Amino acid sequence: MASTPDEPTMALIVRHDLRLSTGKIAVQCAHAAVACTVAAKKSHARLTERWRQSGARKICLKIDNLNELQRLAGQAQSAGLVTHLVKDAGHTEVEPGTITVLGIGPGPRRSIDALVGELKPY
């Protein structure tokens, strides 16, 4: 992809062990994306604007289980990145309160890649 390491990006990390349907994953990722964007607009206004102007890059990745998702969320927070954990309301497919997706960013691509570089695309 023709983008520099400094271009802002967003990572949406989905729990693979829950075996969610396509529509469910899409909606949960959308929750994370909106929540992260709304938060970042307040805390990182200029970076968020730059991210939008450059195409609002998003990447969807998978992770094995909740433990790893939470560890990653902790690391991202320590790195000063915007994060959001999506808890499902549990009307369908999973128990209420199940954590399904972690959103990280928008943030500098280099810092996000350093955290999620090992994960596979969904």
Instruction: Report if residue 97 touches other proteins, rule: CB under 8 A.
Output: no
As a whole number of Å, the CA-based R_g of the chain is: 14
Which segment (26-34, 66-74, 75-83, 108-116) binds other proteins by CB under 8 A? 26-34
Instruction: Report if residue 27 touches other proteins, rule: CB under 8 A.
Output: yes
Nearer to other proteins, 5 or 23 (CB): 23
Instruction: Report if residue 111 touches other proteins, rule: CB under 8 A.
Output: no
Of 55, 70, 40, nearest in space to 1 by CA: 55
- Candidates 5, 19, 45, 80: give the one binding other proteins (CB under 8 A): 45
List CB contacts of 57: < 8 A, sequence separation 6 or more.
Answer: 3, 7, 8, 9, 10, 51, 109
- Candidates 4, 46, 78, 117: give the one binding other proteins (CB under 8 A): 46
For residues 32 and 101, is the Cβ–Cβ distance under 8 A?
yes
- Candidates 15, 18, 32, 112: give the one binding other proteins (CB under 8 A): 32
Rounded to a whole number, what is the largest CA-CA distance in the chain? 41
List CB contacts of 84: < 8 A, sequence separation 6 or more.
Answer: 32, 35, 36, 39, 102, 103
**Can you give the binding site for other proteins, defined by CB under 8 A?**
1, 10, 12, 14, 21-23, 25-35, 37-38, 41-43, 45-46, 49, 52, 55-56, 58-62, 89, 121-122
